[in-house]
Structures are given as C-alpha cells and as structure tokens.
Chain A
Amino acid sequence: MSLQWSSDLEIGIPVIDSQHQRIVDYINGVERAHQHHSQAELLEVLDELIDYTLSHFAFEESLIEEAGYPFCKAHKKVHALFTRRIQAYQQSAKAGEDVTEELAHTLKTWLVNHIKHDDRDYTGVVKANMNEATKRVKTKSGSWMARLFG
C-alpha cells in the first residue's frame, strides 16, 4: 500500500514538509518497483532515495544546529542509524536478494514515526529561530531604506 501524504505528516515548516513529501514519493517508488517485480527499478529508485535523504538530513541537521535545538546530537545519531540500515538493504539488493517488501515496510514506518515524533520536537525552536532571522533581515533592510530615503 502506498504512503499517502496528508496534513498529519506536516510539521509546519514548509521547506522541510516539501522535502519529506519528496521522500514519500521515493518510498512509493520502492513500492512500485515491488509491484513491477523489477530489481533494476528498485536499485535505481534506492540510489535516488539514499542520495536525496542524505542531503535532506544534512539540511535538517544544519537547521536544528543553527537554531540551538538541544537534542541535535541524538537526532543526528538516529539519522546515521537509519542511513546505515538503508545502505545495508541496498547492499543486499545489489547482491540479488529480494528485500523490496521488507524495505518498503521499514521505510514507511520509520519515516512516519520519525516525522511525527522526532521532527515535531524541533519545530518550535526552529520556527522561533527562523522568525528571529526574518525580523533581523527586515530591521536591517528597514534601516537601510530609512538611511537612503529618510
């Protein structure tokens, strides 16, 4: 069963939500490869999924670090653990093992749990930090405008 994107998966930070949505698309790609019984299709989508997920993790980690989220290290550790797991599945798939069904299940459960529990925890801190940054930029440009046209 494919994973449907819905508002209960949103954490309220648009840039992160759209990245998560894209990961959901890739996971559904794994599911499609399973339906097509295509190992080649699986390997291709798995490559893309891992690539994209790694950049998403890097982006998210810099965001939470920048915001001073107190559990950065623990959050990163969970990312690393997940990456190792998926890479292990990729190795098995490359070796010709049929891991697609188990993999699709793991990906779906992991992502939903991670978004709903771990990611939601940093939302408040990150949003507050983003608001602060926006305010700083606005004040800056405000004073610049004032100097120029004041």
Chain B
Amino acid sequence: MTRFVWSEEFELGIDIIDHQHQRIVEYINQIYDISAADLDAATGENTAEIKQVLASLVDYTVSHFAFEEALMEEADYPELSEHQLVHRQFTGLIENLKARCEQGEEVSQKLAAVLQQWLIQHIMTEDKGYAELVKQQLLGIEPEQHRHWVAEAVSRYFQ
C-alpha cells in the first residue's frame, strides 16, 4: 500500500464532512508513516506512538460519526440505522486493533491498509448514499439530475 492521497473523487460536496474525512485520512497516514519508519529501523519501538495515534483516531472517528448521524437523522435518511450499524462495526474494528496493539502485538502497515480500505469503500458507497439527501434537506441544494433538467428546460425554451 501507499499513503492515502486525498482526491476530489472522495468528496461528497458537504465541506465539513469532506474536511472530517480528510482528518481521518491524516491519522491513517500517520500510522502508515510510523510503521514505515519502524520497518526501516527494525526496532518496533514506535508502538507507544502508534497507540497514541490510534487513541486519537478512535476519538475523532466517534465524533465524526456522531456528527454525520445527526445530519442523516435531521434529513430523515431512511437507511440511518443500517449506516449506524456500519459505523459501530468500524469503531469496534479500530478499538480491537488498539487493544491488540496494547497487548504488544506488532503493528504493521497492514493496519493502516485495513483502515484505508475501509474508509475508501465507506465514503464511496454508504456516504455517497446519504450525501444528496442531506444537501437537499439541510443545505437546500437541488439534486444533480434536477439541476440538469432545469438547465435543459431553460435551454429548450430560451434559446
């Protein structure tokens, strides 16, 4: 794996959520960098540092999920409970990794890879699922296809 490079394709178009996702990416990259340095030094002495990053990652993710769930709730997103379940599974996953790390299990870049894969997949599928509705309900932004329809109608009638 490589470092996670943020790109436009991961954006939902809700600035605050995009920023929160980027913060999570920074934490994952931090884990990647520490474990990469660890591999070079072959000492395994950076475990304490990884533990601290993992603790911050858990904290930040829990807060981000709470924020996101509040948006979905307010927008009456019909798949809220499924989404919440996925969030809980992910929190469980990081907490489990943190516990294993605390028990002295060697952490490797595999850990960063698991987190990275999960996040990309989650943003690209589940998060994209709620984004349109939240934008419409909370920000008053019309959905893509509707905008196109309006634009088409305008160009049809006002050529």
Give A residues with C-beta under 8 Å from B: 70-71, 73-78, 81-82, 102, 105-106, 109-110, 113-114, 117-118, 121
Chain A contact residues: over half helix, strand or loop, or mixed? helix
Is the C-beta of B84 less than 8 angstroms from some C-beta in chain A?
Answer: no
Are B59 and A117 within 8 A (Cβ)? no
- A113 and B60 contact, Cβ closer than 8 Å, known pairs A78-B66, A121-B19: yes
Closest to B19 in A: A117
Are B70 and A77 within 8 A (Cβ)? yes
Write the nearest CB–CB distance from B21 to chain A, whole angstroms: 10
Is the C-beta of B37 less than 8 angstroms from some C-beta in chain A?
Answer: no
Cα–Cα, bound, A77→B67 (Å): 7
Are A117 and B62 within 8 A (Cβ)? no
Residue of B16, B55, B56, B139 touching A117 (CB-CB under 8 A): B16
Cα–Cα, bound, A75→B71 (Å): 10
Are A75 and B67 within 8 A (Cβ)? yes
CB neighbours (8 Å) of B122 from chain A are: none
Cα–Cα, bound, A75→B64 (Å): 10
Are B59 and A71 within 8 A (Cβ)? no
CB neighbours (8 Å) of A71 from chain B are: 16, 67, 70-71, 138
Most buried by B among A81, A114, A117: A117
Are A117 and B74 within 8 A (Cβ)? no
Are B55 and A81 within 8 A (Cβ)? no
Are B20 and A74 within 8 A (Cβ)? no
- A78 and B67 contact, Cβ closer than 8 Å, known pairs A71-B138, A105-B55, A109-B56: yes
Write the nearest CB–CB distance from B58 to chain A, whole angstroms: 10
CB neighbours (8 Å) of B70 from chain A are: 71, 73-74, 76-77
Write the nearest CB–CB distance from B32 to chain A, whole angstroms: 19
Are A73 and B74 within 8 A (Cβ)? yes
Write the nearest CB–CB distance from B28 to chain A, whole angstroms: 15
* Interface 0/1 of B97-126, CB less than 8 Å to A: 000000000000000000000000000000
Closest to B23 in A: A117
CB-contacts of B67-86 with A (<8 A)? 67-71, 73-74
Cα–Cα, bound, A78→B63 (Å): 6
Is the C-beta of B15 less than 8 angstroms from some C-beta in chain A?
Answer: yes
Closest to A121 in B: B16
Cα–Cα, bound, A91→B62 (Å): 21
Write the nearest CB–CB distance from B55 to chain A, whole angstroms: 7
CB neighbours (8 Å) of A113 from chain B are: 23, 60, 63
- A106 and B59 contact, Cβ closer than 8 Å, known pairs A71-B138, A117-B16, A121-B19: yes
